[in-house]
Amino acid sequence: MEKRKFTRFRTQDNAFAALRGDFTKVGKIYDISLNGLAFRYLAEEMSEEEYTQVDIFLSDNGFHLPAVPCTVIYHLKESTSGSLSISPYRCGLSFKHLNEEVQNKLDYFLNNHTISNVKH
């Protein structure tokens, strides 16, 4: 049974997330809601760095929502069929303590830059 309070949405192909810190964790947003997001990225190894902010942006229209407070909920290496030195990872984030301005920009993003609800 689905435990999420907020509807998750698939994003347009040009929607990305970047974990603040060393900015080496940048990838395509898989899904997003008012409460958090999941994204995929490529890396040689999983970082032990603790992340507390994420940037959300579109690659082609100038939308940028910087330094959104968050907590990493999960961080998983996805299975691959090869022995590549670079592996795909999936990271799930929960947004924390959003002020009204950030909530409004996130709501704008959900209303204008998503393409469908995620089906259960």
SS (HEC) of 27-72: EEEEEECCCEEEEEEEECCCCCCCCCEEEEEECCCCCEEEEEEEEE
Question: Quick check: is 5 in a domain?
Answer: no
The CATH number of the domain holding residue 29 is: 2.40.10.220
Question: Quick check: is 49 in a domain?
Answer: yes
- Residue 4's pLDDT band, with cuts at 50, 70 and 90, is low
Question: Quick check: is 92 in a domain?
Answer: yes
Question: Quick check: is 118 in a domain?
Answer: no
Is the pTM higher than 0.85? The answer reads: yes
- Please, where are the H alpha helices in 10-63? none
- Give the separation between CA 88 and CA 15, rounded to whole angstroms: 17
The answer on pLDDT for 8 being more than 80 is: yes
Question: Quick check: is 120 in a domain?
Answer: no
Asked whether the beta carbons of 91 and 72 are under 8 A apart, the reply is yes
Q: What is the pLDDT of residue 93?
A: 97
Strand 9-11 with 53-58, pairing: unpaired
Question: Quick check: is 78 in a domain?
Answer: yes
Question: Quick check: is 3 in a domain?
Answer: no
How many domains is the chain built from? 1
Average pLDDT, stretch 9-26? Answer: 88
Question: Quick check: is 119 in a domain?
Answer: no
Residue 51: which domain range?
A: 11-113
Asked whether the beta carbons of 35 and 95 are under 8 A apart, the reply is yes
